[in-house]
Amino acid sequence: MLPPKTVVISGGSKGLGSAMVSTFLNKGYRVATFSRQSNEFIVQKQLSNDDFFYWESVDVNYLSQIKSFISSVNSKFGHIDILINNIAKLSEGLLVFSSDRDIISLLNTNILAPIILTRECSKGMLKRNAGIILNISSINSIKGHKGVSLYSATKAAIDGITRSLAREFGPANIRVNSLVPGFFDSDMVSYLSENRRKQILKRTPIGRLSKIEEISKVALFICSDDAAFITGQNIIVDGGMSC
């Protein structure tokens, strides 16, 4: 009997990250994740899934911590089958008022950290000639919205990396896709005014925000054997907003 697959999910302490942690654990995967700080969710998973769950405190502004985390995961679980680049920082505001510090922080979290994680995880995948990488993008990468130009730029970069790496890693049987969620209920959209929410719902054919579990289940499908011939795709889950 084959051992359970190991999935690394960056930023798994809350929001979509925590939903994916729960979804993959419930399906029998071994899950490794990191965040800056622990919380009640992480503690609960550590207590109830000791042999299948691993968490570490990581500040992505320090690349050495990312490398150390991947080394720890390989030591605990043997190898990594799946990487989900979920960690992201949302920056809202007009570009002209953005400080150098804010720009650098956003680029570090949303682009540099996923690149380093991908490089570190893909080393083992290339040796084993198998693997899956899923990048969590955003509807902002394909549809313009005022005040999120920096965030949009980082997510568009993730979509571009996805397509190039799909060609680069395809011969080694490593699939690379990006999941492009529309607006879904989470802390990342808590800043939206009631009027802004109404505008979003009006432009969404299905007429509601996505449930976070719906996005998580799509991630599970993309990373499953049922999606074995899907690679290099930006898979949009937005209730029809972009159509």
CATH code (residue 90): 3.40.50.720
The predicted-structure confidence for 56-67, as pLDDT tens digits, reads as follows 999 999 999 999
For the chain, residues with pLDDT lower than 70 are 1, 187-192
Do 134 and 161 touch, CB atoms closer than 8 A?
no
Q: What is the pLDDT of residue 160?
A: 95
Say if 1 falls within a structural domain: no
Say if 180 falls within a structural domain: yes
**Sign of the dihedral defined by the CA atoms of residues 177, 122, 18, 30, in that order:** positive
27 in helix, strand or coil?
A: coil
Quote the tokens at residue 148.
């999120």
Residue matched to tokens 């993959």 = 24
**Domain ranges, residue 115:** 6-237
Backbone angles phi, psi at 211, to 5 degrees: -80, 145
Q: What is the pLDDT of residue 189?
A: 65
Say if 243 falls within a structural domain: no
* CA nearest to 32, candidates 61, 57, 60: 57
**What does pTM read for this prediction?**
0.93
- How many domains, in total, are found in the chain? 1
Q: What is the pLDDT of residue 188?
A: 58
Q: What is the pLDDT of residue 191?
A: 63
Say if 242 falls within a structural domain: no
Cβ partners under 8 Å of residue 61, min gap 6: 105, 108, 109
